[in-house]
Amino acid sequence: MTAGRASRKRWLWAAALTVYAFLYVPLAVVVLFSFNDSLLNAEWVGFTTRWYVTLFDDEQMLRAAGNSLFIALSAASAATVLGTMAGLAMHRWRSGFQRVLPFLVLTPVAMPEILLGVSLLIFFRQVLDLTLGLTSILLAHITFSIGFVAIVVRTSLAMQDESLFEAARDLGASPWQTFRRVTLPLILPAVLAGFLMSFTLSIDDFVITVFVAGVGVTTLPLQIYSMIKVAVSPEVNAVSTLLMALTLTLIALAAKLAPDALKGRA
């Protein structure tokens, strides 16, 4: 290796480490100070777990967490079903008017969250005359999650051998039997990865939720935001740490499933 290449390699490593430090050091500080035995986050006083005990005694926080889990599970389940159907449709039908289907499905993915939140607010209140609450949050989360599932499922289908589906039809299988016995087992890793992505996006969402939540209904991100308006308490650090751990676990599971989906493995 020449001196020039070695120097460039060192600079690339330095740049990469700087970026990762910028991203992850603040997260590490949050985790560290969730165990700090002080009401202030100014300095380290000593180790304690009492903020986690306080957290699980906080009724408002538990209610917000319950709302977030209910919405995330419901939205992820509905988005997985609808996104899988959309992914199948985008893969199978690509002619005529059906060519606009990817545009319709994937637009919420590319649209800025604040614009999507305002659009959904106007639609719910002025078109549907829907009272804002858990229902409006659930519908909003399903809306922006469908596209992510559809992308993963469509990509997985594009990697499959079409002769497998043709063989099933030649052997007399109905469309439903082909889907249940051939297509679904092949794309199951993609479907599961889409579910985990949808769950992660839903439980962490703040921008869209703040527009469609209404009065008296709160989720975990909204509750955390309301608590940090004055100061960041150790309890906020504790709930942020738990939410971070859940999110990273789901991301790791989705990343584990994604390669299998792209390889077409059941």
Q: What is the DSSP string of 11-46?
A: HHHHHHHHHHHHHHHHHHHHHHHTTBSSSSSSS---
Res 95 pLDDT > 70: no
Read off φ and ψ for residue 57, nearest 5 degrees.
-100, -5
Q: Which residue has the tokens 């559809």?
A: 150
Q: For residues 139 and 133, what is the distance between their CA atoms, to the nearest angstrom?
A: 10
Higher pLDDT, 158 or 77: 77
pLDDT > 70? residue 1: no
Higher pLDDT, 103 or 21: 21
Burial of 196 (0-12, 13-18, 19+ CB in 10 A): buried
Burial of residue 147, with CB atoms counted within 10 A of its CB: 0-12 exposed, 13-18 middle, 19 or more buried? buried
Say whether pLDDT at 261 is over 50. Answer: no
User: How far is Cα 124 from Cα 118, in angstroms, rounded to an integer?
Assistant: 10
- Does the pTM surpass 0.85? The reply is no
Q: What is the mean pLDDT of the chain?
A: 82
Tell me which residue has tokens 């493995």: 265
Fold for the domain defined by 59-263: MetI-like fold (1.10.3720)
- 77 backbone dihedrals φ, ψ, rounded to 5°: -65, -50
Which of the listed ranges 53-67, 218-232, 244-258 does the model predict with the highest average pLDDT?
A: 53-67
What sign does the CA torsion over 123, 75, 146, 252 have?
A: positive
At 264, phi and psi to the nearest 5?
Answer: 75, 25
Q: What pLDDT is stored for residue 142 in this prediction?
A: 94
For residue 262, pLDDT over 60 is answered with: no
CB neighbourhood size of 57 (10 A): 10
39: CB partners within 8 A, 6+ apart: 233, 234
Q: Which residue has the tokens 């992820």?
A: 76
SS3 265: coil
Beta bridge partners of 36: 47
The domain ranges of the chain are: 59-263
Q: Is the pLDDT of residue 22 over 80?
A: yes
